[in-house]
Structure 1
Amino acid sequence: MARTKKVTITLPVELLESMKSHTDNVSGYLTELAERAERRRALREELDLYQSEFGAFSDEEMAEARALLHGVEETGRAA
């Protein structure tokens, strides 16, 4: 099991109530969101590094990546 540390955070009441309506584990919910954000940040850093070394992605490369990520064919229809 991952090590944890208890912290105190301040949230707007409406946001907290909204989270509680979706889960009874707010700590786990926030952990999942933070993990996703960290993965996106790390991916962005890797993509920026790649592009600084090899140049910007072409329109074709971006379309292919979108299709792979979202399951959309180049015609714009769902795969």
Structure 2
Amino acid sequence: MGGTKKVTITLPVELLESMKSHTDNVSGYLTELAERAERRRLLREDLDRYQGEFGAFTDEEMAEARTLLHGTEATGQAA
């Protein structure tokens, strides 16, 4: 992403204090969280589009994906 733009946001005081307790760069922290959320959104759109065209993923495909992501056969529980 190119460039930056300053914006004003409103956060609950407790949340801001919690963030400040483990980072000196709240702006960078929030940027990283927003980038992760955007990547997840784009991936979800791609996966939905794929499944719309080719059908839902099978249990075997999901197991293989979990193995690739986590290095072992996952149990179906969220990490």
TM-score w.r.t. structure 1 length?
0.88
Q: What pairs up with 1:59-78 in 2 under 5 angstroms?
A: 59-73=59-73
2:40 is the counterpart of 1:13: no
User: Do structure 1's residue 3 and structure 2's residue 9 form an aligned pair?
Assistant: no
Q: Alignment identity in percent?
A: 87
| 4+ residue runs over 3 A deviation | none
Q: Quote the Cα distance in structure 1 between the aligned partners of 2:63 and 2:37.
A: 23
One-letter amino acid of the structure 1 residue matched with residue 31 of structure 2: T
CA separation of 1:8 and 1:52: change in aligned 2, threshold 3 A: same
Partner of 1:56: 56
**CA deviation after TM superposition for structure 1 residue 22, in Å:** 1.1
Secondary structure in 1 matching 2:21:
helix
Please state whether the residue corresponding to 2:36 is helix, strand or coil.
Answer: helix
> RMSD over aligned Cα, in angstroms?
1.9
Aligned residues: 76
Per the TM alignment, residue 25 of structure 1 is displaced from its structure 2 partner at its CA by 0.1
- Aligned residue identity for 1:47: L
> TM-score, length-normalised on structure 2?
0.88
The gaps in structure 2 that reach 5 residues or longer are none
5+ long unaligned stretches in structure 1: none
Residue matched to 1:36: 36
